[in-house]
Structure formats: C-alpha cells, structure tokens
Amino acid sequence: MPPPVLVTGAAGFVGARFVWSCAARGIPVIPVDAPRHFDERTEHRGIPYGPIIDRDDLFAWLERERPTLRAIVHLGACTDTRQLDVAYLTRVNLEYSRAVWRYATAARVPLVYASSAATYGDGTLGYADDEARIPELRPLNPYGDSKLQFDLWALAEERAGRYPPAWCGFKFFNVYGFGERHKGPMASVVLHAFDQIRATGRVRLFRSHRPDIAHGHQARDFIAVEDVLRALHFALDTVVPRGIFNLGTGTPRTFLDVARATFAALGATERIEFIDMPPAIRDRYQYFTQATTTKLRGAGFTRPFTLLEDGIRDYLRRLDAAVD
C-alpha cells in the first residue's frame, strides 16, 4: 500500500469531499480534525475516514508515530469571513499553518495548502496570482488577512531556505457543491437558493449598495467542488514544485445567474426578491472576483472547468437525493 496523505480539515466541506475522492482512487488517508465534527455532519456519513487524529493532538502524534507520508493536504482553517476575533484567526489560521509547514519542511514531505481569494480584497489590484504583488494586497476582513499573512510567511520561509521539498498554495475562489450544509450562513448561495425555493418558492438576494452595480449583478468566480478536488489531485500527482495559484474558473457569474440556474434546475417559476445587505458586512463585501488561470494552466492543469449551470444541476440532484 502506498504511503498515506495526511489531510487536515478532513471533516470540513472540501476536506471531507477530498477524503471521499481519495477513497475512490484507492489513496490511503490520515484524517485530521475535531472528532466531534465527524459525528455532527450527517451529510458526510458513509465517507470511509478510518482512524481519526484530533487536530489538537496532531503534532504530538506526528512526533510519536513518525509516519511515512506521501504528502500533507492542509485544508483545516476557520473560513468564516464574518469572524472578527483576530487572536483566534491568528492561532487557527496562521500559527497552526506555520506548524504544518515547519513539520513538512523538517520531515521532507510535499505540502499543498488552501489559501483564499479573500486575500484580494476589493480587487483594486486585480486577481492575478503574481507572487510579487502579494505584499500589496489588502483584504477586506480579518479572515482574508489571516490567509494573506500565511502566504507572505511561506514565501519568506522559502527565501530563507526553509521549505518543503514541494509546496503549493491554492487561492480558493467561491466553492460550491455537496457537503457544505454544515457551513450554515457561510454555505454557498446555491445551497441557500435551493433551501429558499423549497421553503418559500422564492430566492432572496442582497441589494447592491454601489451605484455602479445593479441589484443581483454582484459577481463571483464560482467553482464546483469537483473541480477543486481535481486540482488537489493534480498537485499531488504532478508534484507541483512550488508556488501560489488561483483556483477559480476564470469566468465571473452574477448572483442572478446562480438564482436563475437554481430555479431552472428545480423546474420552478422564477421569483427573486432583493433585501438590504446587513450594515455590518457592507464594507467587507467583495462585489466582484475573477481568477486568472494562466499560472495554473501553465503548471499543467488542463482540465476544463464545470459550467455553472451544469454544476448547479448536478449539485441539486445530490441534494434532492440526500437525507440530511
């Protein structure tokens, strides 16, 4: 049997789906997360996790067991963009990630980790994954800043000669797909639209509070979780030497597009209502994101990305079949 891949955040949205994808490919996994999450999140039932490592015990376990690993895929983090506790985000997103990096460096294990499109802030500097521009980025919230600070630290460690034998960070754009229900308010607009149509027959979208953008025309780069999984496996199979890459489709779509595709997939009559955006998030809201994909394509990832309408249709089919 080949060496296992250690996966942090294995009970999270992308993490759980990644563990599932590894099982489908016959890749052994060491899952790491808070043990209670594996019992709480019913949509992940049936995923063959095997023995679980408590995220709080990970580094003691690694020191004790000294496992031979194929790679580390570090997906564990607080991903709540509303979280304002900087000390908490520093501990969970920055310090923990530094410890993972240091272990991968010392043990000579390839590392793949999740960064975020939230690092780009309001997009004033664009969305090109040019590492020379990373110090200039200004995220709109503490979550985005925690991800930016780790990207900067990783690059500084590389310059100092302290880095894993292969490493790459992926700036996830707006990921949607089956397995995200436990994220609650932070789940994708696709899931919220599905639930709202089922409950009330209509979808509620935020009004735009910018005069240059019409209601519902806020746009994001929505990427299906299946495409994210393919990119993660590409990084493992190809052993990307190093770098920070955007992971989005390169095609922004509006929130109206998402709502209309959800109505169409459900065969429901379109009813859309606009509501005010909560004042607490207005100054931290990204009105537009669009990944540049040239760098990832140049690294050899040539798979086409899933069309939004197709991804939503497949996602809703799974939601309909699920017993939550």
Tens-digit pLDDT profile for residues 230-241: 999 999 999 899
Among candidates 317, 249, 257, 259, which has minimal Cα distance to 289? 249
Residue 183 known to be catalytic: yes
Q: Are 168 and 129 a contacting pair, CB within 8 Å?
A: no
What are the two backbone dihedrals, phi and then psi, of residue 155, each rounded to the nearest 5 degrees? Answer: -65, -35
Q: Which domains does the chain have, with CATH numbers?
A: 5-175+221-250+290-306 (3.40.50.720), 181-219+252-288+311-321 (3.90.25.10)
Q: Which two tokens stand for residue 178?
A: 């089956």
H helical segments located in the chain: 13-24, 35-40, 58-65, 86-89, 96-107, 142-159, 189-200, 225-238, 255-266, 279-282, 294-298, 308-321
Tokens (6 digits) for 132: 């020379």
pLDDT value at residue 195 = 97
Catalytic residue among 163, 183, 287, 295: 183
- pLDDT score at 13: 97
Given a contact cutoff of 8 angstroms between Cβ atoms, the answer to whether 244 and 115 are in contact is yes
Residue 148 CA to residue 138 CA, distance in Å, equals 9
Q: Is 79 exposed, middle or buried (0-12, 13-18, 19+ CB in 10 A)?
A: buried
Mean pLDDT per 10-residue interval, the chain, length 324 residues: 95 97 97 93 89 97 97 96 95 98 98 98 96 97 97 98 98 98 96 97 96 96 98 95 97 98 97 94 91 97 97 96 62
Q: How far apart, in whole angstroms, are the C-alpha atoms of residue 14 and residue 76?
A: 9
Q: Which of 169, 298, 300 is nearest to 245 (CA)?
A: 169
Of the residues 49, 103, 120, 143, which is catalytic?
Answer: 143
Q: Whole-angstrom Cα distance, residue 308 to residue 173?
A: 14
pLDDT of 43: 87
The pLDDT value given to residue 1: 79
Q: Given this model, what pLDDT does residue 197 score?
A: 97
| Residue 242: predicted pLDDT | 96
pLDDT of residue 9: 98
176 is catalytic: no
